[in-house]
A and B are shown apart, each in its own frame.
Chain A
Amino acid sequence: MESFLVRYRNHLVLLTILAAQLIGLGVQVRHSRAGRNSLDPSDSAGVRLIRFWAESMVSPPERLIHGVKSGADNLWTGYLDLRHVRQQNLELEQTIGRLRLEQAALLEDARQGQRLQALLGFQQRYIYATVAAQVFGTSGSDQSRVFYIDKGSDSGLARDMAVVTADGIVGKVRDVFPHNAQVLAINDQTSGAGVLLETTRIRGILKGNVSGQLEVVGVLSDERIKPGEKVVTAGGDLVFPRGLPVGVVSKVASDSDNPAYIDVMVKSSANLDRLDEVLVITSMQPRFSAQEKQDMATSETLDGAQAAAIEQQIQAQQKAAQITAERLPGLTVPNLPPDQQPINDSSPPNPISPQPQSPVHPDEFSPIPGDKVVAGVSDDGAASPAPAAAGKTIAPPGTPPRAENAARNAHATVPPSGRPASTAQAPPAGQTAPGRNP
């Protein structure tokens, strides 16, 4: 027996270790009613303890390396490369002041919107509290796309909290330790998030594939889905608030397993491979800080003052219009009632004259088509309104041919008063124009 153990000790040690690990794996796998095996999403106490030990051993040196790298980066960006920083600081302070007021106004709108939606029975979730954290490590395995952040339960983090950046969503908190937390990235194969295609309003489940790319699965074939369409969170998974950016559609491919479905490949908005700082959404209940409340009060005061100023301005403009109308001559006739005053006349001031018919037998005195007359001359020598709008060379009815020709020749020198220069020699009313009689 002893010789057997000595002879096969290598094999026996290997088998013992493999058997122990297989038993441990069997404990961690669950068999579903659908006949599929899956890993238990919530670790047992023993597994959590092993993970905690491993994390406690690896994370301190990892954080040290990350700290040294960050320190070197900060040394350069914070002390050596400081050109134009003072000017930028002044501009940023001004921008912050403006943005604070705008944010207060938006918070007020959001609060009002929530009240209205509560009245309508909607359950909309908003982001009200976040915790900023730094990414300092990964799992090191491409089968497990998780990363570690430097905030844990001490900072108020809990399981299933959404993790985002300014660009879009990046994952959710999977496991929490006192000072660290493990975040499952959205491009992991086991992750899932409810998403919505912004234009076509088609819903689907966002998952990661083996290459770490994002894809929306469970989407029926639809020709309207095109590359470039934005993808946002749908808000139905109770992890991510609705409307957060996810990415854009990069490719649409048919599902090889089921032709009725398509795989929508998505390019993530956030750079999931190079994450440095993330935000963990710790609360989606309305909680305003004292500063935010003060800003909102200031915003309301400013809004009231602005509305009063606009009202005064409108009143002043109305007064000025009345005074102008009273002072303008001809706009009011004392003998007419107010509703028949010329100022209230909406008819066009210069109606277009009817176009005369062309002569049946034109002669040398007939009007030339295409020639323009700005003003005609009547028998009494007064200028008549110009039929220029008709685009014809027309003399007023009853105009003698010579006067008509004179009018035709005078149209090029019409003074601003509308009276042609040639009408200065026109005979007075009742007299015959020179050359009238042959």
Chain B
Amino acid sequence: MSFIGASFRRDIEIHRYPLLVYILVPLAALVAQAWLPRVFGQYAYFDLPLVVTIYFALGRRSPIQGTLMGAALGLFEDALSHLAIGLNGIAKSIAGYLAASVGVRIDVENHTIRVALTFLLSLVSGAIYLFVSRFLLGLEFQWNWLGEIFKAIGNSVIVLLLFPLLDRLQLRD
């Protein structure tokens, strides 16, 4: 049974990383997200900053850190686009908060849970983006839910490859 009590899990599983990892991994995710669409073209169905946000939120199990990480990466993404700054920031802040909140309660070492959680949080992030832009701000633009599903699938596949690599970077006692 993967679902274990929060207090027990929180005591034994808080991942710690060197400071450089907190800086370089999100920066690498931003750079890769900006550069890889030139390679994959229209098939670039992934959101690496969101994946990194979820990873650190799950590993640190701190909603505040998850929120801050999501906000920072989302604002960077917005700043690189031509759209309003804050759309991705809000979506990823909430995604980071939710990931950390869930990570307190469940075993996040299980790959199946990681994949399922990333898939769900990708869709939630898209839904928040749509809600804020269309309903709060009243902006008119088209939305492609099929593309969002493909993106959630792509993120889930990346989790299978990336999370084990990032796990190797954590500090061991």
How far is B88's CA from A54's CA once the two chains are assembled, in angstroms?
A: 14
Contact B83 A144 (CB under 8 A): yes
Residues of A within 8 A of B33 (CB): 140
Number of interface residues of B (CB under 8 A): 49
How far is B35's CA from A147's CA once the two chains are assembled, in angstroms?
A: 10
Partner of A25, one of B68, B87, B147: B87
How far is B64's CA from A315's CA once the two chains are assembled, in angstroms?
A: 95
Contact A209 B42 (CB under 8 A): no
A1 contacts partner chain B, Cβ-Cβ < 8 Å: no
Residues of B within 8 A of A174 (CB): 82
How far is B96's CA from A17's CA once the two chains are assembled, in angstroms?
A: 12
Chain A's nearest CB lies how many Å from the CB of B143?
Answer: 6
Contact A14 B84 (CB under 8 A): no
B121 contacts partner chain A, Cβ-Cβ < 8 Å: no
A131 contacts partner chain B, Cβ-Cβ < 8 Å: no
Residues of B within 8 A of A148 (CB): 34
A19-52 CB contact bits vs B (8 Å, 1 = yes)? Answer: 0011011101100000011110000000100110
Residues of A within 8 A of B64 (CB): 9-10, 13
A273 contacts partner chain B, Cβ-Cβ < 8 Å: yes
How far is B41's CA from A189's CA once the two chains are assembled, in angstroms?
A: 17
Stretch from B111-119, B132-140, B155-163 contacting the other chain: B132-140
B27 contacts partner chain A, Cβ-Cβ < 8 Å: yes
Whether A38 contacts B139 in the complex (CB less than 8 A), given A137-B35, A139-B34, comes out as: yes
Contact B93 A18 (CB under 8 A): yes
How far is B82's CA from A190's CA once the two chains are assembled, in angstroms?
A: 10
8 Å CB interface, B10-42 against A: 27-28, 30-31, 33-38, 41-42
A61 contacts partner chain B, Cβ-Cβ < 8 Å: yes
Contact A274 B89 (CB under 8 A): no
Whether A141 contacts B137 in the complex (CB less than 8 A), given A21-B71, A211-B147, comes out as: no
Chain B's nearest CB lies how many Å from the CB of A355?
Answer: 78
Residues of A within 8 A of B82 (CB): 139, 144, 146, 174-175, 182, 184, 188, 190
8 Å CB interface, A97-128 against B: none
Residues of A within 8 A of B93 (CB): 14, 17-18, 21
Contact B85 A50 (CB under 8 A): yes
B99 contacts partner chain A, Cβ-Cβ < 8 Å: no
Contact B143 A140 (CB under 8 A): no
Contact B147 A141 (CB under 8 A): no
8 Å CB interface, B32-84 against A: 33-38, 41-42, 44, 63-64, 67-68, 71, 75-77, 79-84
A331 contacts partner chain B, Cβ-Cβ < 8 Å: no
A424 contacts partner chain B, Cβ-Cβ < 8 Å: no
Contact B34 A273 (CB under 8 A): no
Residues of B within 8 A of A275 (CB): 38
B142 contacts partner chain A, Cβ-Cβ < 8 Å: yes
Residues of B within 8 A of A26 (CB): 137
Chain A's nearest CB lies how many Å from the CB of B58?
Answer: 15
A55 contacts partner chain B, Cβ-Cβ < 8 Å: yes
Whether A142 contacts B147 in the complex (CB less than 8 A), given A55-B80, A65-B31, comes out as: yes
How far is B76's CA from A14's CA once the two chains are assembled, in angstroms?
A: 18
Residues of B within 8 A of A146 (CB): 81-82
How far is B31's CA from A66's CA once the two chains are assembled, in angstroms?
A: 11
B141 contacts partner chain A, Cβ-Cβ < 8 Å: yes
Partner of A28, one of B84, B88, B90: B84
Whether A14 contacts B37 in the complex (CB less than 8 A), given A25-B84, A210-B147, A211-B144, comes out as: no
Whether A13 contacts B67 in the complex (CB less than 8 A), given A54-B79, A175-B82, comes out as: yes
Contact B81 A21 (CB under 8 A): no
- A-B pairs with beta carbons under 8 Å apart, 6 shown: A37-B140, A50-B75, A138-B38, A144-B81, A211-B144, A273-B41
Shortest 6 CB-CB distances between A and B: which pairs? A144-B81, A54-B79, A273-B41, A210-B142, A140-B33, A37-B138
Residues in chain B within 8 A of chain A (CB atoms)? 27-28, 30-31, 33-38, 41-42, 44, 63-64, 67-68, 71, 75-77, 79-90, 93-94, 97, 101, 129, 132, 136-144, 147
Residues in chain A within 8 A of chain B (CB atoms)? 9-10, 13-14, 17-18, 21-22, 24-26, 28-29, 36-39, 47, 50-51, 53-55, 57-58, 61-62, 65-66, 135-144, 146-148, 174-175, 182, 184, 188-190, 209-212, 273-275
